[in-house]
Every structure is written in structure tokens, then in C-alpha cells.
Amino acid sequence: MVSATREQLLPGERLIVVVHPHILVLARPILVNIAACAVLAALSWRLNTYWLMIFCLIPLAYLCWEILERLLREYIVTDRRVIKREGVFTISSFDASLDKINNVFYEQSLVGRILGYGRVGLETASEQGVTAFEMIPRPVEFKNQILRQRETYQSAAPTQRVESTRADIPRLLEELASLRDRNIITAAEFEAKKQSLLDKL
């Protein structure tokens, strides 16, 4: 899973933290399984037809799907961006550059404070406005991690930032082409970053 996450990184980008939704997102499918098994067990015992227990596979499949979906829903902080990635068959991804984030906030209900989950939101300069990260475990830590990385990114003097030299540009173009071929970045993103590198020649 970590290797799949690292494939999303751009050349020179450093992974800081990867977070999945709180384990409580599995509470409903677990309760559905318990209830379904209890009802089917009671019916099987009363009717003396234990083959009915095979229907337990239906809620079990639902639970397995929710587990997989949780594992594939990633909230990622790097030293350049905040990324939200989700989906099993159809994957959707959102990322915000640290210098485009205007505000970071979190919300926690009383139950959320007790059980350790909450909602973190980003206000960006893009048209999307506010982007929410739901059911984040330890939301204060996640919010503070974003703020620390944003502060580090913004306070770095331009002369201290690592610039691509002419010798590096062919290698960076190859890495970008590899990311495009693996559908990690779109063709449009590839062309934009390619042009940016070529402008430095």
C-alpha cells in the first residue's frame, strides 16, 4: 500500500504522512453482519434448515468491500501538497499545493473527541473552495502536520529551494513520462510540467 502511495509522488517530492479513515467507518457493516448472522442462526435453528446460513456471505461481502474501500481511501501530506485519494475501481484524486492553502480547520463532536476522530477542512484559492477530509483519526495532529509543512514550504527562501539543473532535466522528463504512462498524472499535467522544465533550458 505504501509503495502504491509513493507512486503518486512527483520527482523530488517527500512523503510526510498517510492517513486512512478512522476504524469506526466499519462499525455499520460489522453491526449488519452481527445482526444478519443472529437472524439467520435463529431461523436455521427454528426451521432446522441450516443451509440458510449461507446467506451470511452477503453481509460478509459487504464488510470486505468496506474494508477494501477504507484501505484505498488515503489522506496524504507531502512536503509540497495535500492529497485526497479514494475509490476501488474508479479512482478519484484531489490535491492542493501547500502554497495555495489559505486556511486549515477541524471539527470534532463530543463523541469524536472521546473516540478520537473528526473532520479536517482545507480552504484553498481554487474554485473548489473548501475540501473536507471526513472521519480523520487524531484530526488535530493531521491539521498541525499540514500547517507545519505549509509554514516550512512558504518560509523557504527561493535561493534555498532545490532547482533543476540542465543536467537533471532529461532525467526529470523521463520520470514524468513514467508517471504519465502509469496514469498517476494526466497527459495535460505531463505537458504542463514538461514545458515548465523545458523553459529552464
Task: Give the Cα separation of 76 and 68 in Å (integer).
Answer: 17
Q: For residue range 82-133, list pLDDT tens digits in order.
A: 999 888 888 888 888 888 888 999 999 999 999 999 999 998 876 667 888 9
Q: Which residues contact 43 (CB under 8 A, 6 or more apart)?
A: 49, 52
The residues spanned by each domain of the chain are 2-21+74-162, 25-68, 164-201
Domain 2-21+74-162 falls under CATH 3.30.465.10: no
30 versus 157: the higher-pLDDT residue is 30
Q: For residue range 68-79, list pLDDT tens digits in order.
A: 999 999 999 998
User: Which region holds residue 135: left if phi is over 0, alpha if psi is between -120 and 50, else beta?
Assistant: left
